[in-house]
Structure 1
Amino acid sequence: MNKFNGTGVAMVTPFHPNGDVDFGGLEAVINHIIGGGVEYLVSLGTTGESATLSKDEKKQVWKRTVEITNGRVPLVAGIGGNNTYEVLKSIEEFDAEGYDAILSVSPYYSKPTQEGIYQHYKAIATQAPLPVILYNVPGRTGSTLSAETTLRLAHDFKNIIATKEASGSFDIFNHIMKDKPADFMLISGDDPVTLPMIAMGAVGVISVIGNAIPGIFSNMVRLCLAGDYAAARPLHYKLIEFTTLMFTEGNPAGVKYALKELGVCGDNVRLPLVSVGTATAQKIALQLKAIGTQQAVQHA
């Protein structure tokens, strides 16, 4: 599954000012990201505001993403939730043509036990028509997918191929890397810790900031994977302040404003999210200039 080595980008979903999905903006975002040299795209993860899209809108976004991408890079679809039967129904209705894997977030809000989380993913793995990537993000879900449960799933189901780890816990990362099956992949789910995670053996990242600066960030990731940390570290440090700003007022409000500054798409978000305030917007604009605008020039 080396198609998931490197930089994947959890794409934003652009909206018109009236709240409708902006499919022209989606095309611009996809072309901007692919033009930056990333390895794959993730459609309708958290960054895509999937929680606020209707079933019909999701189907349209997935379909258009396949059409626009046109086989240029692998695609992953975000299909998850805390109602296991609803997730299974969504998978059953999902048109997998053109997609290479499913990213499924650990059940949120309900705070299931580890056995409940295991059974949830077991049900998904049994039904999924594509390989499954686990997603551990306790800051959003309210519960943790433990290293022990991750490893149990990895060993029990061959079609569970990876975990996107956004727990921030190096203890979890260590345990996964120590005892995982040889072909099971650890993927960073946090842009700022991608470099140290790759040093531990992670195969790459599913990124937020890659929406805005795919060229710079994917280059850093490739340098890390090549073991050239001397060249990667300056890029890592250069992006720290920009990355912090992307999350200062929530994701994807920050990265959508960056995309607006770059002329790729608008920064509209759906409630309960709101656009970044003036002070943060000004800081993002300054950071884009400090990082360098070659990305914007390249896609102008």
Structure 2
Amino acid sequence: MNILKGTGVALVTPFHDDYSIDFEGLKRLVNHVIDGGVDYLVVLGTTGETVTLTSAEKKQVLNAVLDYNNDRIPVVYGMGGNNTMAVLNDISSTDFTGITAILSVSPYYNKPSQAGIISHYKAIADACPVPVILYNIPGRTMSNMTAETTLTLAEHSNIVGMKEASGNLEQCMQIAAKMPRDFLLVSGDDLMTKALYSIGGSGIISVMANAIPATFKALCHGTEEESMKAAFSLLPLNGLMYEESNPVGIKNLLRHMGICEDQVRLPMLRASLELNQKIKAAYQKLK
């Protein structure tokens, strides 16, 4: 799984003003991030507004990304949920041609026990024909995967990594201290990337890499000086990306860059006028 080290970009799903999918915008985005030097694409994760897409739309987006990518870099597919049987049904009905691995979020809303989370992921890993990357994001799921749970799941032959978005560096260190040598510990927080690298992390699945992929190329693959400079350059933008929830901020930034419109689907709304102005000013300084 060395091909999944470095920067993965959690692609947004561009929409027209009528909320239909903007496939031309998606094509521009895919080419933009690949030309900017990202190492792999992550399609239909949280940033892709997956929960607002129909099953048919998910297939359309996946197929479009695979087509636009044209085997240039690996593709990771977001496939998870809080209904284990539904996820297994999705796996059985999916064509995994061109998909390197899946990214599967920890069950949300149900708030299962740690034993329940382990059983959920083992069922997915047993059924999935490609490797599985775990995804811990308690800010959205309201249920944290402990380091012990992650390490237990890391023993499964088809579970190859963890996207850690808990923001808990101590928990990440506990994982890093005992994880298998080939296990991928991936940052789920752009600003935590450098810290995770320092304890044995493998890279980042990034939101801001949609807009500034070259910065993340420097962060993950540059010299120490280049990497530190890239990390600090994220500070003015990072908070703005989440001020009105993700992907509102990153889509607004992409609009200022001329890549796609900043339309999001309800219940989220486009960036407010105030946030739009702040992102525009930060982008001008970044340029």
TM-score range, shorter chain: over 0.9
Report the CA distance between 1:116 and its aligned residue: 0.3
- TM-score, length-scaled by structure 1: 0.94
Find the aligned partners of 1:219 and 1:53 in 2 and give their Cα distance: 33
Q: Check conservation: 1:37, 1:215, Cα contact below 8 A.
A: yes
Give 4+ residue runs of structure 1 displaced > 4 Å after superposition. Answer: none
**Partner SS state of residue 143, structure 2:** coil
**Partner SS state of residue 14, structure 2:** coil
**Partner SS state of residue 205, structure 1:** strand
**Partner SS state of residue 250, structure 1:** coil
In structure 1, what is the equivalent of residue 188 of structure 2? 189
In structure 1, what is the equivalent of residue 173 of structure 2? 174
**Partner SS state of residue 210, structure 1:** helix
Q: Check conservation: 2:36, 2:214, Cα contact below 8 A.
A: yes
Deviations along 1:107-153, one digit per CA (max 9) or x if unpaired, are: 00000000000000010000001000000000000101111010001
Q: State yes or no: 1:81 paired with 2:81.
A: yes
Q: Check conservation: 2:133, 2:160, Cα contact below 8 A.
A: yes
**Partner SS state of residue 21, structure 1:** coil
Deviations along 1:56-112, one digit per CA (max 9) or x if unpaired, are: 000111111111100011000000100000011111111111110000000000000
In structure 2, what is the equivalent of residue 146 of structure 1? 146
Report the CA distance between 1:234 and its aligned residue: 2.2
**Partner SS state of residue 151, structure 2:** helix
**Partner SS state of residue 219, structure 1:** helix
In structure 2, what is the equivalent of residue 270 of structure 1? 265
Find the aligned partners of 1:171 and 1:161 in 2 and give their Cα distance: 21
In structure 2, what is the equivalent of residue 58 of structure 1? 58
- TM-score, length-scaled by structure 2: 0.98
Report the CA distance between 1:218 and its aligned residue: 2.1
Report the CA distance between 1:231 and its aligned residue: 2.9
Q: State yes or no: 1:242 paired with 2:241.
A: no
Find the aligned partners of 1:76 and 1:15 in 2 and give their Cα distance: 21
In structure 2, what is the equivalent of residue 113 of structure 1? 113
**Which amino acid is 1:57 matched to?**
E
Q: Check conservation: 2:218, 2:226, Cα contact below 8 A.
A: no
In structure 2, what is the equivalent of residue 295 of structure 1? none
After superposition, residues 1-300 of structure 1 pair within 5 angstroms as 1-155=1-155, 157-223=156-222, 228-292=223-287
Find the aligned partners of 1:204 and 1:149 in 2 and give their Cα distance: 21
Q: Check conservation: 1:239, 1:291, Cα contact below 8 A.
A: no
Find the aligned partners of 1:271 and 1:64 in 2 and give their Cα distance: 23
**Partner SS state of residue 154, structure 2:** helix
Find the aligned partners of 2:224 and 2:277 in 1 and give their Cα distance: 31
Find the aligned partners of 1:235 and 1:291 in 2 and give their Cα distance: 11
Find the aligned partners of 1:112 and 1:95 in 2 and give their Cα distance: 29
Find the aligned partners of 1:199 and 1:10 in 2 and give their Cα distance: 22
**Partner SS state of residue 275, structure 1:** coil
Task: Specify every segment of 5 or more residues in structure 1 that has no aligned partner in the other structure, as ranges.
Answer: 293-300
Deviations along 1:172-196, one digit per CA (max 9) or x if unpaired, are: 1111111111111100000011111
In structure 2, what is the equivalent of residue 297 of structure 1? none
- Measured on the aligned residues, the alpha-carbon RMSD in Å equals 0.8
Find the aligned partners of 2:229 and 2:112 in 1 and give their Cα distance: 41
Report the CA distance between 1:279 and its aligned residue: 1.1
**Partner SS state of residue 65, structure 1:** helix
Task: Specify every segment of 5 or more residues in structure 2 that has no aligned partner in the other structure, as ranges.
Answer: none
Report the CA distance between 1:216 and its aligned residue: 1.4
